[in-house]
Every structure is written in C-alpha cells, then in structure tokens.
C-alpha cells in the first residue's frame, strides 16, 4: 500500500486513475446498445422492488434539492457574469491581495521575540493560502499527537488506561467553536498559562502569545487530534497480530517493527483521519468567529465567504461564490482521497473475518515515563478546554488572573436562561436537530440498506452522494441555498425561501450535512450482519418491506441508533449553516448562532457564551457516553466515514 505522502505512491495513484478512466471510456460503448438498458431495467426491478425504489427516490430528491442543485447554483454563479460563462470572478480573486499574495506574503515573521514576549503567529499570504496553511498545519500536528497516542493506547497496557480512553474523547465532544472561547482566554496575554508558567513558576522564559493563523491552528489541533486518534486506534486494533509476530520473527524489534510493519498496515486509517481533519479544519468557521477581531484570522476563505453574505437581505457579493468554489475544490479533493482508502480498508477487514486479541505489552519503566509524560501533556492541554468553559461559565471576570474572579457564581446562568431569545434558540436547536435526525433515520437506514445489499450499477454514486456532505463546507451549502431558493422565482413566496423562513432550510441542511454519521454507522452494522438472515425471511414468503421492517431494522437497530445520536450531537453543534441562515430572523436562530451573537454583542460575552457552550458539551457528553458505553458503538458513527 503506497502512501500519498510519497512520490511513488502518487505516481502509482496517477497511473491507476489513468487506467480506470480508460476502462470507463471503453465500457462506455455498451451505453449505445438498447439491450443494455433492457437488461438494466430488469435488474433494477428484480433487485429493488417498490419499497426500496421509494426510499431511493426520496433520498435522491432530498440530496438533489438540498445539496446538489444549490451547489451547482454556486458553481454556476461563480463561473458566469450576467448569465454568460466567464472567469471574471476568479481573475478578480487572484489579482486581489486579500485572497492571493499578489504582492507577496506579509513581512511579519511567523515567530518573533520582543522583550519577554514570544509571538507565534504563522504566515499571512492571502485567504486561499492561509486556509490551506491552517489546514495542513492542523493536520500535521493533530496527526503527530493522535498517532502517538493511538499507538500507546493500542499496544501498551498500563494503569489508568480505561479512564484515559474516555478522557481522550473529550476534545471531540465540543466543537472548535466552543473550545476556541476557552482557549482564547487560557492562552491569552495574561491568561492562565502565561501567568502560571511565566510569571509564577518561571518555567517559560517568555510570555507566549498565539495570534493570527497560529491561534486557529492551536485551537483546531487541540480539537482534531482526537479525531485522528480515533481513526488510527481503530486501524491499529484491526491489524492481524500474526503479521507483527512474523515481523518479529524476521528480526524487527521495537520502533523498527513499528515503522516497518505496524505503521504501513495502519496507514490507510491514519490517512483517512488526517485528511478528514484537513477538510474539517479548512471549512471550520467557529474558531474564526471567536478570533474575528484578529485581522489575519479574518483573512481565510471560510471567513471571507461568511462576511460576503449578508443574510438579512440575502445579498451576496459576486466574488463569494467563486471563493466558495475554491473552498469546495480543496475539500472535495481531500474527500476523494479518503474514499479510495476507505474502500481498501473495508476490503482488508472483510478478508480477515473475525476479531482477535490485539497484542498488548507491559511497558518498561522508561516507557512508562514516556507514555505518562506524553499523555499527561496532551491530556492537560485537552482538558483545558472543558476546564476553561467551566471557569468562564461560573465566573464574571477572567482576564488577568490565573483563576477566574467571583468564582463560582451562577449569575451568568441567571442572565442567560432568563433571556427569552436564548431559550428560544435552545428550543430551536433541539427542534431542528430532532426533526433533522428523524429525516436522517428514515432515509439513511434505507440508503445504507440499498448501498450494502443491492448489486446494481449506480450504487457507488449513491454511496458517494450520501457520504460526500462530510466534505462539503457548510458555508458553501448555505450560500447555495441563498442562490437557489432566493433567486429562483418559483420559491420566492414559499417556505423554502430563507428570507420567508429559515426553518425548513435549517432542518434540511442539518439533515443533509449530518447524514453520513448515521448512514455509515448503519452500513457498518449491515456489513456485519449476515445477508442470509434476510434471505431466510424472503424464502419463507416475506415481502421486501416485511424483510426490511422485521429482520433488517431489528438487527441493525443499535447501529442506526448510535449513528442517529451522533448525527444529533453534530446537528446541535453545527456552526456554518446556522450562523448564516440564523442571521435572517433572530427568532428562528439556532443555539450556535445565539452563541456567536452573545460573543459579539454582550460585554461579558465569553462568560455567557460559555454557559451555552457548557450546555452543548453536557448534551454531547451524555449522548456520546450512551453511544459508547451502552450501545458499544463503533468509530464509523463518530467519524462519519
């Protein structure tokens, strides 16, 4: 298995792509024969039946209307001027210093020491390069941390491991949006860390300040390393221990064994996690909103697109769609890489069959120190976020002291929960997420069933259609809604026009965007369920609908449920679409919009926002605990792949 991180790997992949394209063109010839269609029609009738057909049509329609067409509206707008094909907007973008380094990058050094201040700020090369830079840096850091952590957890047996396993998941419980609020405070000029390690303990010779893109990278890395960890951990566990033993027999030991045998085998899993991190990092809007007072942070594609849409009137700067297309392109290229790996990984897993006991070592004393040292640091940083949120939520001031002032107090809770608009937004989010998950469950179960069980041409495309939302930046989808449902006359007076009401579109956006979590979880459940259970029922006379309801659903119920719960969690913490569509009418806005609103408006904004962040985290912790402990769920639903 060649890696995309090597020249050989890329070459191999390119020639693979070439051959597939050739085959595809050659096989295209049969499309001109009538018999091909006749046979195809017969096979569809045979395999699908009325029941699956209805499900299929419903799914395709939903995704067509609330994802594909809006995206094409964005692309169409990006490539045209007054309805005529034109690259104008792209030319404008690539000649504008805000987006492209036409005059070179900012001369400010990425790292600078002035007096006893250490500034870590990263580069500033225009929105496009900035976004990619943030994505790459976040991915690199998250991967280093996540893989090391996964290796320790998967291969060593040490005290406190079971507690660690749960603690490590905590970062993934919040959204970067909530983490950012806490991290901004903790890492601030006179924040907890500087006061503690610089002023008091004097371990750090400098006062460390994260600014610009570095601040974003910090927040995101502290969040996304747990994603890479999850996906890598699963990959390590899936490795056949006998392969490693064989390596040992041939003389490989210790780190050599890890590098030559273990790592290559786990690479698909690692790369999938890494690329997903890249995509999510590039499309993340929450962190940028928290740091929006920093001019360099605003200079990122996602933020630019966000600021170029004026939701209340639905007016969009004509450059925005073109910027969106660039964002979309970056994300989709990443996604297609993952897809190659996932299919390979599934194959590898199937060929093995059962599960085995992974190899666990008892660490030696010095390994103990390394493990505890590393995990200690990571955990400390990771737990700062929830700690910071708790401090903020229960205090009224936290700027120049290690511990917050007036701590603990419930004053914030009083103010926040007596605000009718806040209560409304909580209700809104619960309502939208609930309805969206209902849609998701109804459609995803059927879709996963079709993808897992029906062997028909076009199934691959269906799979792509329902899993690609994970790679689609929410902000681009939101823009698509404005371009499609506002500007097409037939929708203007309907409830699908976001200017009339944002509710249906918010729900559909949630449903489409968080669909993959449930569909992948269900799909994984189906793959582990023997087809013969269904055939036995069919053989005894059950209709397709009856097989689905009486056999399939009960057998994969746990997978569906855990996927649905994760979809719900991610709906509740959705940021991009919420911020844009929520801006039309505050009374309809979801929780995350209200948080952003509070952050920017109220004087004690971060304390109030932290209260809501805490609420969000508690909901997420409860649900993820249920999913993990009670339902013994799998990573598919957590990662959505």
Segment near another protein (CB under 8 A), from 21-29, 383-391, 478-486, 544-552?
544-552
In whole angstroms, the minimum distance from the beta carbon of 550 to another protein comes to 8
Is 283 within 8 Å of 332 (Cβ atoms)?
Answer: no
Tokens of 142: 């998250």
Number of residues that bind another protein (CB under 8 A): 19
The smaller minimum CB distance to another protein, of residues 397 and 535, is found at 535
Of 547, 178, 152, 587, the C-alpha closest to 379 is: 152
H-run or E-run covering 224: helix 212-237
540 lies in the binding site for another protein (CB under 8 A): yes
For the chain, give the longest Cα–Cα distance. 82
In whole angstroms, the minimum distance from the beta carbon of 54 to another protein comes to 17
How far is the C-alpha of 490 from the C-alpha of 492, rounded, in Å?
6
In whole angstroms, the minimum distance from the beta carbon of 57 to another protein comes to 21
How far is the C-alpha of 57 from the C-alpha of 402, rounded, in Å?
58
415 lies in the binding site for another protein (CB under 8 A): no
The smaller minimum CB distance to another protein, of residues 367 and 543, is found at 543
8 lies in the binding site for another protein (CB under 8 A): no
Segment near another protein (CB under 8 A), from 75-83, 91-99, 231-239, 540-548?
540-548
The smaller minimum CB distance to another protein, of residues 250 and 536, is found at 536
In whole angstroms, the minimum distance from the beta carbon of 528 to another protein comes to 12
536 lies in the binding site for another protein (CB under 8 A): yes
Site for another protein in 311-340 (CB under 8 A): none
543 lies in the binding site for another protein (CB under 8 A): yes
Tokens of 396: 């009224």
In whole angstroms, the minimum distance from the beta carbon of 541 to another protein comes to 5
Half-sphere exposure (CA, 13 Å, Cβ side) for 140?
8
The smaller minimum CB distance to another protein, of residues 114 and 539, is found at 539
The smaller minimum CB distance to another protein, of residues 105 and 557, is found at 557
In whole angstroms, the minimum distance from the beta carbon of 46 to another protein comes to 6
Residue selected from 107, 347, 541, 603 as contacting another protein according to rule CB under 8 A:
541
Is 226 within 8 Å of 146 (Cβ atoms)?
Answer: yes
545 lies in the binding site for another protein (CB under 8 A): no
Task: Decide: residue 97, CB within 10 A, 0-12 exposed, 13-18 middle, 19+ buried.
Answer: middle
The smaller minimum CB distance to another protein, of residues 530 and 600, is found at 530
The smaller minimum CB distance to another protein, of residues 39 and 86, is found at 39
Tokens 């603990």, residue located: 408
Is 607 within 8 Å of 407 (Cβ atoms)?
Answer: no
Residue selected from 332, 421, 555, 621 as contacting another protein according to rule CB under 8 A:
555
CA-based radius of gyration for the chain: 25
How far is the C-alpha of 228 from the C-alpha of 280, rounded, in Å?
12
Residue selected from 542, 602, 604, 621 as contacting another protein according to rule CB under 8 A:
542
235 lies in the binding site for another protein (CB under 8 A): no
Beta strands in 304-444 (DSSP E): 309-310, 315-316
Segment near another protein (CB under 8 A), from 20-28, 298-306, 546-554, 628-636?
546-554
617 lies in the binding site for another protein (CB under 8 A): no
Distance between alpha carbon 255 and the CA centroid of its chain, in Å?
Answer: 32
Tokens of 436: 């969206």
How far is the C-alpha of 236 from the C-alpha of 253, rounded, in Å?
17
46 lies in the binding site for another protein (CB under 8 A): yes
Tokens of 557: 């119920």
Tokens 């034109």, residue located: 86
- Where are the alpha helices (H) located in 309-419, listed in sequence order? 319-352, 365-393, 411-417
Site for another protein in 475-534 (CB under 8 A): 530, 532-533
Of 515, 470, 509, the C-alpha closest to 342 is: 470
554 lies in the binding site for another protein (CB under 8 A): yes
Chain residues that interact with another protein, rule: CB under 8 A: 46, 530, 532-533, 535-544, 546, 550-551, 554-555
């Amino acid at each position: 298995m060649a890696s995309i991180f090597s020249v050989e790997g890329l070459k191999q992949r390119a020639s693979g792509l070439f051959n597939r394209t050739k085959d595809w063109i050659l096989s295209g010839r049969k499309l001109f024969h009538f018999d091909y269609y006749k046979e195809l029609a017969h096979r569809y009738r045979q395999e699908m039946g009325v029941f699956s057909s209805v499900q299929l049509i419903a799914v395709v329609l939903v995704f067509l209307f609330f994802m594909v067409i809006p995206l094409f509206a964005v692309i169409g707008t990006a490539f045209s001027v007054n309805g005529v094909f034109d690259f104008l907007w792209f030319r404008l973008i690539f000649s504008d210093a805000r987006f492209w380094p036409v005059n070179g990058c900012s001369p400010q050094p990425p790292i600078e020491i002035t007096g006893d201040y250490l500034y870590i700020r990263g580069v500033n090369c225009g929105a496009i390069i900035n976004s990619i830079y943030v994505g790459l840096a976040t991915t690199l850091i998250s991967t280093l941390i996540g893989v090391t952590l996964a290796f320790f957890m998967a291969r060593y047996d040490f005290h406190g491991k079971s507690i660690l396993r749960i603690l490590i998941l905590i970062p993934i419980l919040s959204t970067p949006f909530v983490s950012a609020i806490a991290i901004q405070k903790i890492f601030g000029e006179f924040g907890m860390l500087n006061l503690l390690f610089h002023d008091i303990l004097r371990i750090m010779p400098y006062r460390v300040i994260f600014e610009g893109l570095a601040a974003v990278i910090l927040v995101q890395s502290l969040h996304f390393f747990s994603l890479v960890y999850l996906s890598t951990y699963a990959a390590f566990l899936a490795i056949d221990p006998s392969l490693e033993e064989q390596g040992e027999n041939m003389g490989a030991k210790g780190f050599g064994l890890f590098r030559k045998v273990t790592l290559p085998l786990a690479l698909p899993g690692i790369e999938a996690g890494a690329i997903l991190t890249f995509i999510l990092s590039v499309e993340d809007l929450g962190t940028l909103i928290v740091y929006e007072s920093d001019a360099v942070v605003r200079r990122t594609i996602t933020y630019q697109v966000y600021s170029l849409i004026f939701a209340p009137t639905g007016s969009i700067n004509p450059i925005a769609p073109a910027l969106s297309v660039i964002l979309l392109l970056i994300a989709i290229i990443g996604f297609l890489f993952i897809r190659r790996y996932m299919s390979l990984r599934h194959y590898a897993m199937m060929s093995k069959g059962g599960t085995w006991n992974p190899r666990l070592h008892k660490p030696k004393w010095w390994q103990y120190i390394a493990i505890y040292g590393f995990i200690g640091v990571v955990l400390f940083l990771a737990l700062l976020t929830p700690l910071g949120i708790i401090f903020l939520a229960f205090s009224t001031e936290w700027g120049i002291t290690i511990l917050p002032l007036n701590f603990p107090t419930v004053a914030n809770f009083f103010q926040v929960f007596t605000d009718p608009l806040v209560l409304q937004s909580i209700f809104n989010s619960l309502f939208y997420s609930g309805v969206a998950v209902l849609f998701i469950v109804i459609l995803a179960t059927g879709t996963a069933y079709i993808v897992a069980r029906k062997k028909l041409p076009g199934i691959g495309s269906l799979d792509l259609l329902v899993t690609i939302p994970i790679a689609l930046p929410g902000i681009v989808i939101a823009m698509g809604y404005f371009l499609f449902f506002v500007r097409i006359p037939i929708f203007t007076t309907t409830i699908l026009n976001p200017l009339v009401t944002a509710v249906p579109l918010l729900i559909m956006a949630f449903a489409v965007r968080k669909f993959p979590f449930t569909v992948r979880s269900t799909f994984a459940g189906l793959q582990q369920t023997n087809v013969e259970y269904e055939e036995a029922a069919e053989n005894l006379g059950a209709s397709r609908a009856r097989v689905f309801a009486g056999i399939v659903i009960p057998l994969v119920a746990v997978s569906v449920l855990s996927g649905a719960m994760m979809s719900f969690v991610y709906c509740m913490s959705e940021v991009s679409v919420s911020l844009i569509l929520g801006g039309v009418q505050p009374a309809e806005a979801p929780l995350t919009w209200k948080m952003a609103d509070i952050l920017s408006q109220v004087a004690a904004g971060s304390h109030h926002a932290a209260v809501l962040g805490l609420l969000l985290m508690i909901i997420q912790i409860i649900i993820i605990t249920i999913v993990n402990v009670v339902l013994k769920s799998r990573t598919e639903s957590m990662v959505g792949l």
